[in-house]
Amino acid sequence: MRTRLILSASVVLLLSACGPKPHDSQEGPLEAPADAPKGAPQAASAPEALPPGADPDAPLASGPPPPIATPVAPPPPAPAQTFAGDLNLAGTEPFWSTEIRAGRITLKRPDHADVAVPNAGPVITGDTAIWAGGDDASRLTVVVEKAACNNGMSDTKYPYKASVKVGESVYKGCAAHPGGKGR
């Protein structure tokens, strides 16, 4: 009960601090200074007629209001077409390769059995596509990023960086569409 009373008193004090204030400790409307020109009283501009953040004491400008700055949009994400179709991934040390095909993703490594999982399609975020599939024993996660790549053993340049994770092993390399499409 005491906490509620303290909270209520705090809210009342806060609201009274935000409320209207008397003008220089006087009550009633403001009067023009004695040396002000006489004539028809000028209407005060209503605060709701001012744009947000405008200075109510600034002189009124003639002509149209200045344009409002619009935020710059981030660059559009890579279109899904970037990752559409077959992809071949490969890396060195250790050598490995992965084929992404319409119905299946297959990881191949020397001295290991191939790991093949159904291809449910990628999740695309910006310039990155992620494929995931398989069960705990053969969980395969493939990440392909639209970024220039070189495998370190040749002068071949690839349009994608790639990584494949299976179990605790992560393989890094490059990727391209078969036949060089997308290079």
- Say if 111 falls within a structural domain: yes
Residue 18 lies in a domain: no
Structure-block tokens of residue 178? 């078969």
Which DSSP string corresponds to 4-30? HHHHHHHHHHHHHHHS---BTTB-S--
What residues contact residue 92 under an 8 Å CB cut-off, 6+ apart?
A: 151, 152, 153, 173
**Coil vs helix vs strand at 89:** strand
- List the structure tokens of 180: 């060089």
Q: What is the pLDDT of residue 38?
A: 62
Identify whether 5 is part of a domain.
no
Residue 126 lies in a domain: yes
Structural domain for 176, as ranges: 80-180
Helix, strand or coil, per DSSP, at residue 55: coil
Residue 127, pLDDT score: 92
Does the residue 50 lie in any domain? Answer: no
Full pLDDT tens readout for the chain, 183 residues: 444 444 454 444 444 555 554 444 445 555 655 665 665 555 444 445 666 666 777 666 666 766 777 777 666 555 667 788 899 999 988 899 999 999 999 999 999 999 999 999 999 998 999 999 988 777 999 999 999 999 877 888 999 999 999 988 999 999 999 986 544
Domain count, the chain: 1
Full DSSP string of 159-174: EEEEEEEETTEEEEEE
Q: Is residue 156 a part of any domain in this protein?
A: yes
Q: Is residue 14 part of a domain?
A: no
Look at residue 159 in the predicted model and tell me its pLDDT. 95
Domain presence at residue 12? no
